[in-house]
Structure 1
């Protein structure tokens, strides 16, 4: 016991720093390493992103208990959340809010009766690594917000569903790599309290396919 007390006293500065970092990551801002290709071409495997934990709610540290609402999530936001299926933290695009009527037909979304606009992208973008099938890139206009998505017509995936109504207090999430993402089509709607932050920027990125060298063009890049 004396040795333990001595150890604490000798390292109290370091212990206080580590506790402060844990509190900061739990309540203010957290960083997240993108582990899969489900958000290509927007987020790449190896991206280190920052999730703003105060973007929507103030939560009791180390919990999902909401103390105060700051703002409502909106369509097009990229968010981190705990999966309602198994609790694993995921990053996806929020495409529908409470009360929205959502339908998908052949990978194309219809929200509140309005079909989204899709335009083919001819310029080169980051495609899913190690996938040998066809990959098509489109600009998806999410009711006024543009972003790029990938479709894989040769891959087995859920390409049609609904129409469904997004329940109160819940949200519908999809990956930008539309046919290669375990999102709300598989795990269901996501409750607001499970949303852990909003992602707006990539801090830096390491390319595992190139000896973990940094991708210089992604340092401090917006998403």
Structure 2
């Protein structure tokens, strides 16, 4: 064993360094579901900046230093407060915000977000089939990003009002009627944030013929 370690110590050091790098500085996250349509697709792999908000001790939730503040509209990876599943959603509301949703309309501190219709798309739902999705531009305070809704789906269209607790965030999927987010799992404490998703690294059509989607490589996710 000692001989094996001695002969491969360079590779072992590389693996350890990579592990520390991925758990403390930068990471990548494959997109497994449709919850962030139309902005993120199944088969996208996104770059995650782990030091956008906090410098943490590797492999822990312990923050050594706050390096930045999460903002409305940021796409973030985090551990679910429900079961610690790794998720990716968008920050819709900040600590202290009063939030409600009424008939697809997001309301923050009494002000309803503005919406612009972008067009229609087709959304495939397992065991249901192809549905028509309505894509919208949502203007939420200083953030602006596209979302989509599925009028035919029996979804949670009304929520709140609730007040976001200190050091916590309300997360929503961009695919509002096909996302398990803070409406179901609750608020996300800052200590469970992994990092901010910055851009698409690579992308392939994993639901089709696995062809690379070169037009998505390098696409920014910042609002």
SS at structure 2 position matched to 1:121: strand
With normalisation by structure 2, the TM-score equals: 0.95
Structure 1: runs of 5+ lacking an equivalent = none
Q: CA deviation at 1:128?
A: 3.2
Q: Distance in 2 between matches of 1:220 and 1:162?
A: 36
After TM superposition, the structure 1 stretch with the greater mean CA deviation from structure 2, 145-154 or 183-192, is: 145-154
Alignment partner of 1:128 is 2:126? no
Alignment partner of 1:201 is 2:178? no
Q: 1:91 aligns with which of 82, 88, 112?
A: 88
Q: CA deviation at 1:129?
A: 3.8
Q: Where does residue 42 of structure 1 map in the other structure?
A: 39
Q: Where does residue 19 of structure 1 map in the other structure?
A: 16
Q: 1:164 aligns with which of 150, 155, 162?
A: 162
- Deviations for 1:38-88, whole angstroms, at most 9, x for unmatched residues? 000011101010110000000011000011001110100000000011111
Q: CA deviation at 1:144?
A: 2.7
Alignment partner of 1:183 is 2:181? yes
- Deviations for 1:9-28, whole angstroms, at most 9, x for unmatched residues? 11111111001000000000
Q: CA deviation at 1:216?
A: 1.0
Q: Where does residue 2 of structure 2 map in the other structure?
A: 5
Alignment partner of 1:73 is 2:67? no
Q: Distance in 2 between matches of 1:171 and 1:144?
A: 16
- Deviations for 1:185-205, whole angstroms, at most 9, x for unmatched residues? 010000000000001100110
Pairwise CA RMSD: 1.2
Alignment partner of 1:174 is 2:179? no
Structure 2: runs of 5+ lacking an equivalent = none
Q: Distance in 2 between matches of 1:171 and 1:214?
A: 34
Q: Where does residue 97 of structure 2 map in the other structure?
A: 100
Q: 2:28 aligns with which of 31, 52, 59?
A: 31
Q: CA deviation at 1:118?
A: 1.0
